[in-house]
Amino acid sequence: MHRPKLGGVNEDQQARYSRHILLPGIGESGQERLLGSRALIVGLGGLGSPAAMYLAASGVGELVLSDYDYVELSNLQRQIIHTSADVGRDKVDSARDAIARLNPGVSVEALAHALDDEDLEDEVRRADVVVDACDNFETRFQLNEVCWRTGTPLVSGAAVRLEGQVSVFDPRDSESPCFHCLYGDVDAAEGEPCSRIGVLAPLLGVIGSIQATEALKILADFGSRMTGRLVLVDALTMEMHVVRLPKDPKCPVCSVPEGDFARLAVG
């Protein structure tokens, strides 16, 4: 896992991140940790857009953006990191340019291909946190297994129609459940994409922002995380509910005996 290189916060950084530094939970030391951290964001769509922008604005030093799709006109209703001029471009290239305009001090690595097997494990292992902003169960299960095998915290979010959810799965915490505990053996092909059933644009901003918040708390080491809890957001009634998410003692991913993680298949 990537380790922060602590070297102090310079004068420009003190000005840019002054509102963070004023917070007792973050301060200069917490901002320094953010500047030395590395986050992997998988998916630069409706969730990944606000998550990436807030992590960049907050000064996370290295962002790795993974998405093999390109920008379409229908994306612009909710994927706020892209613009009309980006239609037809790779999403990671569009996002990288937007982040450079927002905060040129952030290093961005754009991966315009699907991460599989060893490549996925290498990227997850190098990250301090992984933000799951993808749109299919297959990738979510894959990310979950690799995060658990590498000991990397995973911030998972989802939204469809008028409802969304966020949780944190942290293999460093022996009591933490994982994504498989939440969904069990659901068929990876299940779930309807928003292209068929729709999604409210600002709801994705809400969920993506919560994901960014949880990622920042992990990276800067402050606050109480969503580990073992699931926040449910209903945009229609504007209600939020937090429910306990227990660890499944029979989970084949997070409850396997210590030392047995190597047997888990990536795909």
CATH number at residue 91: 3.40.50.720
Which domain range does residue 50 map to?
A: 22-259
pLDDT digits (tens), the chain, 267 positions: 444 444 578 999 999 999 999 999 999 999 999 999 999 999 999 999 999 999 999 999 999 999 999 999 999 999 999 999 999 999 999 999 999 999 999 999 999 998 988 999 999 999 999 999 998 999 999 999 999 999 999 999 999 999 999 999 999 999 999 999 999 877 655 556 666 889 999 999 999 999 999 999 999 999 999 999 999 999 999 999 999 999 999 999 998 665 454 444 433
Question: Based on the structure, what is the number of domains in the chain?
Answer: 1
Residue 3 lies in a domain: no
- Look at residue 193 and tell me if it is in a domain: yes
Gyration radius from the chain CA atoms: 18
The neighbour count for residue 92, using CB atoms within 10 Å, is: 25
User: Which letter does DSSP use for residue 199 in this model?
Assistant: B
Tell me whether residue 266 is in a domain.
no
Would you say residue 141 lies in a domain? yes
Answer whether residue 1 is part of any domain: no
Bridge partners of residue 164, in order along the sequence: 159, 233
- Looking at the domain assignment, is residue 84 inside a domain? yes
Residues forming a β-bridge with 41: 65, 131
Query: Is 2 part of any domain?
Result: no
Q: Quick one: which of 212, 210, 202, 198 has its CA closest to 165?
A: 210
- Residue pair 198/124 in contact by the 8 Å Cβ criterion: no
- pTM of the full predicted structure? 0.91
Residue 6 lies in a domain: no
The owner of tokens 């979010």 is 157
